[in-house]
């Protein structure tokens, strides 16, 4: 990649701007799809547990139902 093209993808000479992030994302997805197709497929869908899971397991909440006595 020519230096001018590379520099256009940087905000401050070090950090990517939106175009740089997009280029890196495309290259990463391309490589993952080629080398690790099953991983690439699993990354296509966001997998977040429900927030309620964290509420019931939060160790910092006093009187949490999962808190152990001590």
C-beta separation of 53 from 43 below 8 A? no
CB atoms within 10 A of CB 48: 6
DSSP annotation string for 14-35:
SSB-HHHHHHHHHHHHHHHHHH
pTM over 0.85: no
Q: Which pLDDT does position 24 carry in this prediction?
A: 96
Per-residue model confidence as pLDDT tens for the chain (70 residues): 899 999 999 999 999 999 999 999 999 999 999 999 998 888 888 777 777 777 777 777 777 555 455 4
Domain limits, the chain: 3-45
């Amino acid at each position: 990649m020519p230096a001018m093209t590379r520099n256009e993808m940087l905000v401050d000479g070090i950090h990517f701007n939106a175009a740089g992030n997009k280029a890196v994302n495309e290259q990463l997805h391309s490589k993952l799809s080629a080398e690790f197709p099953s991983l690439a497929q699993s990354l296509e869908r966001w997998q977040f547990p429900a927030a309620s899971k964290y509420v019931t397991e939060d160790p910092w909440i006093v009187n949490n139902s999962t808190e152990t006595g001590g």
